[in-house]
Amino acid sequence: MKGNSYYSRKLHSLLGVIPLGLFMIEHALTNYSAFEGGQQGFKDSVDFLHGMPLVFFLEMFIIWLPILFHGVYGLYIAYQSNSNVGNFNYGRNWAFTLQRVTGVITFIFVVWHVYETRLQVTFGNTTYEELGSHMHDIVSNPVVFAIYVIAVLAATFHFANGLWAFLVSWGITVGPRAQKVSFRICLGIFVIVSVLFLLSLFAFGSDEFASAPITAFTSASAV
């Protein structure tokens, strides 16, 4: 690695929370609209996001480039680490190892997930309007559904634990008491964001998302 790794590591830490952490919460809320509002609710959320001005640049600077840097540099950080949870069987040490394992899982998953969803829209194989039923087709496969559940939990753990470590790495939570309080808050964030993602996964898997939006809309109004 060329250049001063202090700056690279600091940038890596910052990008993980701003913007990627914020994007993750936004993604969880958007997906949750599928659970809360069904086909129409999800479609409205997607329309809102893609109706934003300069959406291409927002995606590029808030999502793609930060993920690319955070992911690639994160792989390098994982490569630089040993795991010694055998001899040092402590909670924080497990979190250290899991942070690296979930980071690698998340990076691989994100590449696949972006290919399967966002890039399929670019290729013209699906549209933003059909994303709900497109997701239904994906998660209808029980193996893929299981992979999604594992990946979502891994990504959420990586975010919540990363947020905890961010607060230490920037010198915000210094003493053990502050770190204990921030641990509880981050644990709460992990639970809430995980539940949002899991509920939306179940929603996508349900029959409501089985067909195209128009029919779903009529059947929903029939009910």
Residues in contact with another protein by the rule CB under 8 A? 4-6, 9-10, 77, 79-84, 86-88, 90, 92-93, 95-97, 99, 164-165, 168-176, 179
Select 87 or 221, whichever has its Cβ closest to another protein.
Answer: 87
With CA atoms as reference, report the closest residue to 152 among 196, 117, 186, 119. Answer: 196
CB of 116 to another protein, least distance (A): 31
Residue type, 57: F
Select 15 or 95, whichever has its Cβ closest to another protein.
Answer: 95
Select 8 or 117, whichever has its Cβ closest to another protein.
Answer: 8
CB of 99 to another protein, least distance (A): 8
Q: Which residues contact 186 (CB under 8 A, 6 or more apart)?
A: 160, 161, 163, 164
Select 15 or 131, whichever has its Cβ closest to another protein.
Answer: 15
CB of 173 to another protein, least distance (A): 7
Encode burial over 101-119: b for 16+ CB neighbours within 10 A, e otherwise. Answer: ebbbbbbebeeebeeeeee
CB of 68 to another protein, least distance (A): 20
Q: Which two tokens stand for residue 15?
A: 């990008």
Residue pair 158/165 in contact by the 8 Å Cβ criterion = no
CB of 153 to another protein, least distance (A): 20
Strand, coil or helix: what is 79?
helix
